Structure 1
């Protein structure tokens, strides 16, 4: 399962439908639980979609450090995500393909390429925002460390992961 993340994710995913061994699904009006059901039932080598199971956590984390989310917002988003993961309403992807990370705001870039990539380095892959580039990225995906074994501790520790310091020794706030 591959989450394609970025402003043009739905467009890029639509351009990949029909490739051999690829099932491309866009979220549209589906709830996260409905999307999880559709994605987990799909059968293909690569199931691509744009429904990020950690999307609300990422929005809360970036909003907290950008000063647009109230204090406690990250913790609320983390607990909601943990509850949904425990209940199998959300499933972490095998990979994130992040479209055009150079065009992201600094805090979002730190979320994708610092926080998430720090937790599972080979599972977060940057790509230009085109169907051809993402198809090429899929060919180069490699196995690597899975998400942290203690997912609860990792997610609950996110408020202490500071942009510009994520991944550095002693980098927690």
Structure 2
């Protein structure tokens, strides 16, 4: 897993593609909307960019996040989260995916409780300044980009961290 010269930011949330598409006119920002591209294609575009910031909506941990949420909401079959974790690790090791420097989470207060805990609990605990909440608008995300601060990167032992996720319980009471 290699890091790039650009600062890579993944925007997540219901309106991520729309917001990312509106950021392309910013100075030193390369905005990449996933659209119909597969994640490996987005990774290649990100890798080739020389912009200071590369902002996109193709989260390399999207399937892990989805299955973690479903696992704790009781909707994921046994083993599904573990399979998603191993697939993500394989993609990261093979450089088919790049873990971003930052995640900008759109409107986290509007997310369902388990998904909100994924972003503002699990991910933020792993690297506190690397998960940034913002309103779902291009000006708010642009402001968030201008205020990104340095801090601890993702866990050095990424495999152990990801493999521990089935035991990382949301701090919200789960509804059944």
TM-score by shorter chain over 0.5 = yes
Counterpart-to-counterpart distance in 1, 2:138 and 2:101 = 19
Counterpart-to-counterpart distance in 2, 1:3 and 1:86 = 19
Residue 141 in structure 1 maps to residue 144 in structure 2? no
Residue 56 in structure 1 maps to residue 56 in structure 2? no
Counterpart-to-counterpart distance in 1, 2:23 and 2:39 = 22
Task: Kindly provide the CA deviation profile for residues 117-151 of structure 1, in whole angstroms up to 9, marking residues without a partner as x.
Answer: 11000000000000000000011100000000100
Counterpart-to-counterpart distance in 1, 2:168 and 2:51 = 35
- Provide the TM-score with structure 1 as the length reference: 0.94
Q: CA RMSD in A?
A: 0.8
Note the residue ranges of structure 1 that are not aligned, 5 or more in a row: 166-173
Task: Kindly provide the CA deviation profile for residues 68-119 of structure 1, in whole angstroms up to 9, marking residues without a partner as x.
Answer: 1111111000000011111000110000000000000000000001111110
Task: Note the 1:36-115 alignment, pairs <5 A.
Answer: 36-115=43-122
SS in 2 for 1:7: coil
Note the residue ranges of structure 2 that are not aligned, 5 or more in a row: 1-7
Correspondence for 1:119: 126
Counterpart-to-counterpart distance in 2, 1:152 and 1:26 = 28
Residue 128 in structure 1 maps to residue 122 in structure 2? no
Task: Kindly provide the CA deviation profile for residues 20-43 of structure 1, in whole angstroms up to 9, marking residues without a partner as x.
Answer: 011100001111111110111112
SS in 2 for 1:58: helix
Counterpart-to-counterpart distance in 2, 1:110 and 1:71 = 21
Stretches (4+) displaced over 4 A: none
